[in-house]
A and B are shown apart, each in its own frame.
Chain A
Amino acid sequence: MSLSDADISALFITLRLAGLTTIILLLLGTPLAWWLARSRWRFKFLLEALIALPLVLPPTVLGFYLLISLGPNGPLGSLSQSLGGPSLAFSFTGLVIGSVLYSMPFVIQPLQNAFAAIGNRPLEVAATLRASPLDRFFTIALPLAHSGFLTAAVLGFAHTLGEFGVVLMIGGNIPGRTQVLSIAIYDHVESLEYGQAHLLSAGLLLLAFLMLILVYAVNRRFAVAQQ
């Protein structure tokens, strides 16, 4: 038994979606997590709660509001169209926006914890050794938080791989454009193609497991090295 063309394109769309989402989240999430870890702003908890929302919200709720705002009459959709872009609903770009929001806590929280765990002292020491704030961030904070980055990247990637509800709501299910693996599996089961469903499911299971093994193995080595 081998993968059909539609399954293969679903695989590539999924990997591209997860990869892009992870990259965007690391770029946006690093400064945000740094700020969250360092700021003493009184109302910081409001932002933290907002970021954690996707952890508890049914994906369909998030998907529903995204569908409205990404559609031609929604704020994001009309903005895109007024700039000459496409409607965002039922597009790959829409999927990326949805995934970024949906996977955000999985990237922000490990980063924030890793930055907080560094503490003030190494940064103060670096300051007395002539390092400017940006210099301290790149030469002290980033290297010391490296295990947090690995955790964040793997969790963000793996969580996007497993996304179903949000994608279904805003992506439609357009083979070759917005159909991802989790939905392809659903379609196979609906059509009683259990063999195909097995193949894709087992593949995703294995991939997710391997990635988590990587995270735990590296973090364990790191923890041992710190002692």
Chain B
Amino acid sequence: MSIQVSLKLEKEGFLLDVDLGIPARGITALFGPSGCGKTTLLRAIAGLEPKARGVLRMGGQVWQDGDCFLPPHRRPLGYVFQEASLFPHLNVRKNLEYGLRRVPADQRRVSLDNAIDLLDIGQLLMRKPRQLSGGERQRVAIARALAVSPKLLLMDEPLAALDVLRKQEILPHLESLHARLDIPVIYVSHSPDEVARLADHLVLMEQGRISASGPIADMLTRVDLPLARGNDAEALIEARVAEHDDTYALTCLDFPGGRFTVARKDLAIGTVVRLRVIARDVSLTLARQTDTSILNIFPAIVDEIVPTGDSQVTVKLQVGGIPLLSRITRKSAALLELQPGKSVYAQAKTVALLA
């Protein structure tokens, strides 16, 4: 099942022209600079832009096609706006129930208790929105959208209006939502950090158009895209917790290319987590170093090399079939005589566990 979006919309001199297929599972991030049309696209999907023309199909259901236009209140979706936008005249419980009461009982799959529990807002139910902090408001708004049991959840930079602490307060809830509910999400963001933590699928937008889309790990390491050439280029690797080393307080995680060792995290054996490896932190050697402090060393094959700026190159590697990026100087690349197909060892100085 997938979501098919081919929409065109002209709005105050701006043209949105999008033709896109999105998997109807997991979190799809719409990523791009401000003003590129992310929010407009999300609004068009929700039916909030009645002038949008084209086709919109959600699995077998047609939301829009030619003259057929399902108004927003007939589309089985949830929408979280950038500002929480709670109804000021209703308390938290009434806000949560507003959508829920309008969904027929046989279509409810997310219970109110479930939504309250997921966002941990049980103690706020009797308060009015003005008595809540920014982070609490946004959690209520997310729970309110979930309580309509949406078949698709649209989130428009739900964390953008919050400070770093409040973001840290909400991100874990979004991750558990991802893990515990089987609701596809389209998540608009311009924060690479949020995208790396949450997204399974990435859609890049530029000036009203889709410039590329695909699974997150592939997209981040595609050297033909700006992400892999940026200063913060990174690779995401899914790994499984294999064992804990109590002597040195370390955790070992396996992935198809080998074993990562990171500072100990309290995670059950078998848990699948995301690791982020920044390209700048990956150095290359021709022979395996033994007398080094670096723990994470993997045999790799050079896949592609692209110049990045005057003095540097970005090297895309395959480590057991998993893409990894390394940012080194052009001089080093020449000295090591790097070329596609060459076997090397990749040394990752730091590895961040995203969870």
Contact = CB atoms under 8 A, between A and B. Distances in A.
A128 B102 contact: no
A121 interface: yes
B174 to A, nearest CB: 18
A129 B71 contact: no
A58 interface: no
Interface string B87-120: 1110000000011001100000000000000000
Contacts of A126: 73, 87, 98
Contacts of A127: 47-48, 71-73
A82 interface: no
Given A128-B78, A128-B79, A226-B130, A122 B72 contact: no
Contacts of B77: 128
Interface string A47-82: 000000000000000000000000000000000000
Contact of B103 (A130, A132, A139): A130
Given A121-B81, A124-B72, A226-B130, A130 B88 contact: no
Contacts of B88: 144, 226
A20 to B, nearest CB: 30
Nearest to B78: A128
A68 B279 CA distance: 86
B145 interface: yes
Which secondary structure dominates where chain A touches chain B?
Answer: helix
Interface in A171-196: none
A139 B78 CA distance: 19
A213 interface: no
B20 to A, nearest CB: 21
Interface string A113-134: 0000000011011111111110
B89 A129 contact: no
Contacts of A129: 73, 98-99, 102, 144-145, 148
A15 interface: no
Contacts of A133: 73
B70 to A, nearest CB: 12
B148 A130 contact: yes
Contacts of A101: none
A132 B73 contact: yes
Contacts of B87: 122, 125-126, 140, 144
B41 to A, nearest CB: 15
Nearest to A139: B98
Interface residues of A, number: 20
> Which of A125, A129, A135, A225 has the most chain B CB atoms inside 10 A of its CB?
A129
A122 B85 contact: yes
B277 interface: no
A31 interface: no
B346 to A, nearest CB: 46
A143 interface: yes
B99 A130 contact: yes
Contacts of B217: none
Nearest to B71: A127
Contacts of B47: 127
B46 interface: yes
A144 B72 contact: no
Interface string A200-227: 0000000000000000000000000111
Contacts of B78: 128
B293 to A, nearest CB: 53
Interface string A149-188: 0000000000000000000000000000000000000000
Interface string B53-96: 00000000000000000011100011101010101110000000
A197 B55 CA distance: 73
Contacts of B72: 124, 127-128
Nearest to B144: A129
Contacts of B102: 129-131, 135
A227 B78 CA distance: 28
Contacts of B144: 129
Contacts of B148: 129-130
> Which of A127, A128, A130, A227 has the most chain B CB atoms inside 10 A of its CB?
A128
A140 B102 CA distance: 14
Closest 4 CB pairs of A and B: A129-B99, A130-B102, A128-B79, A127-B72
Interface of A: 121-122, 124-133, 135, 139-140, 143-144, 225-227
Given A129-B98, A129-B102, 17 more contacts: A121-B83, A122-B85, A125-B81, A126-B73, A126-B87, A126-B98, A128-B72, A128-B78, A128-B79, A128-B145, A130-B99, A130-B148, A131-B73, A132-B73, A135-B73, A140-B87, A225-B130
21 contacts: A121-B81, A122-B85, A122-B87, A124-B79, A124-B81, A126-B73, A126-B98, A127-B47, A127-B71, A127-B73, A128-B46, A128-B48, A128-B72, A128-B73, A128-B77, A128-B79, A129-B99, A130-B73, A131-B98, A143-B89, A144-B88
